[in-house]
Amino acid sequence: MRLLQPLFRWDPVEAEFSNHARVQGMLDFEAALARAEARAGVIPASAAPLIAAQCRAELFNMDELAQSAARAGNLAIPLIKRLTALVAATDNDAQRFVHWGATSQDAIDTGLVLQLRAALLLMESEFETFSSALAHLAETHRATPIAARTWMQQALPTTFGIKAAAWLDAINRDRLRLAAARRNAEVLQFGGAVGTLASLGAKGLDVSKALAEDLHLALPDLPWHTQRDRIAEVATALGLATGTLGKIARDISLHTQTEVAELFEPAAPRRGGSSTMPHKRNPVTCAVVLSAAARVPGLVGTMLSAMVQEQERGLGGWHAEWETFPEIISLAAGALHHLTATVSGLEVDTARMAANLELTRGLLFAEAVQMALGKTLGRQQAHDLIEAACQRAQKENRHLRDVLAEDAAVSKHLNKEALAKLFDPAQYLGVAEQFINRVLAAHAAQNAKKNPAKEGR
């Protein structure tokens, strides 16, 4: 079903896992294999361009491949048969060297790696855009007061800037993990029937080196047919990243509640509406991202379970990856893309944030007063005194500051000016700004390292 693709997916990444791209990835392997074997003197030099010329996905009927794969057990078998026929139609001698010395898994896995590289590079660029949007929020709102909430209740004052900085800090860790996982996975798969390349005799390593160079992939120390840690690492990194995106979406959605109303997804015609309630402005992106965060962990679990493969060729475990892995990438990419657009245009109501700080009539400043009194009374005595005052303020529906101002035990140590200062949110933010500075500095350093040309600007 493609009806929901615009809601949950991101077209550029989807294109990397289309039927065409899947077939083209395997054909790119076959073309590079022919060139590498010709270069190593394994097949005639004249055969390579003839084989490569037919390695174009548009020459293959996808429906026929699908039906044949259902009988053969994988896509590579019917694909190679069709490729051989295409080459034979132009040169009967060259067709003898199609897929020479390789096995189906070599074509399938290396094709996947090529798809994976393209998709993850797109995602890394989008993550950079997303992190920049978060950095802008952290910088812009470094001093914007907001109520911090623990256990879903107002706790103490904080700033929206440090909340955005916390999102940014986590996302930047995800960026590093994903880039490392991609580099670890960008390796050639080429081992022949059982991983020894016996069919190529003494030329096996020469062909492997030339093939890896042609495809711009790293050459592993040996084939990895049933060692799936590289692929599982990417899946796990994407699972963690999707979890981070989900946490951000959860926070934003909570701030969009009518009773809170501090944040809003960007407004647009027909966006977030209801079929029956004209007033609704639903957090659509948050729903999409939270959906991905609910779905991806189970898929990652499948990838981890699929690592336990038999001897030199997996039975079922390898097959379990074929649909699962692209689904993880697709869902993670869609969540990332949609949340990037939303955060880049996020509407921030600073006035409502300030107003919400007064909802408890001063109760969220109770710790600040307690700490000030504790310097002379001791922590426990100050805690008991302020706790009783809070209960009185709630019972009498009064502001805590007014209740404390009437308390002789408090006024003995804190005059009205000192007490008023303790109810100023800007005076009880600790080292929030320093934390923001540290995250922003780390973000700038990470981006400069990724883009060395920017360092001198």
User: pLDDT per residue over 434-450, tens digit each?
Assistant: 999 999 999 999 999 87
**Is the predicted pLDDT of residue 453 greater than 60, yes or no?**
no
Angle at 117 between CA 115 and CA 121, to 5 degrees: 120
Q: Which residue has the higher pLDDT, 278 or 347?
A: 347
Domains, the chain, ordered by start: 10-102+199-223 (1.10.275.10), 121-137+150-187+224-358 (1.20.200.10), 363-422 (1.10.40.30)
For residue 193, what are its two tokens?
A: 């029937």
The letter for the amino acid at 44 is P
**Is the predicted pLDDT of residue 365 greater than 50, yes or no?**
yes
pTM above 0.85, yes or no: yes
pLDDT of res. 456:
40
What does the pLDDT average to over 177-190?
A: 97
For residue 202, what are its two tokens?
A: 């003494």
pLDDT of res. 272:
62
pLDDT of res. 450:
75
pLDDT of res. 282:
87
Distance CA 150, CA 280 (A): 27
**Is the predicted pLDDT of residue 451 greater than 90, yes or no?**
no
Q: Which of 162, 181, 66, 74 is nearest to 123 (CA)?
A: 181
Which tens digit of pLDDT belongs to each residue from 23-52? 999 999 999 999 999 999 999 999 999 999
Cβ-proximal residues to 219 (8 Å cutoff; 6+ apart), any chain: 187, 188, 208, 209, 212
**Angle between helix 317-344 and helix 104-140 axes, rounded to 10 deg:** 20
pLDDT of res. 267:
81
What does the pLDDT average to over 351-357?
A: 96
Do the Cβ atoms of 195 and 223 come closer than 8 Å? yes
User: Roughly how many angstroms between the first and final C-alpha of the chain, as a whole number?
Assistant: 47
Which tens digit of pLDDT belongs to each residue from 283-335? 899 999 999 999 999 999 999 999 999 999 999 999 999 999 999 999 999 99
> Could you list the active site residues?
274, 313
Q: Which of 100-104, 159-163, 336-340, 371-375 has the lowest mean pLDDT?
A: 371-375
Do the Cβ atoms of 373 and 395 come closer than 8 Å? no
pLDDT of res. 183:
97
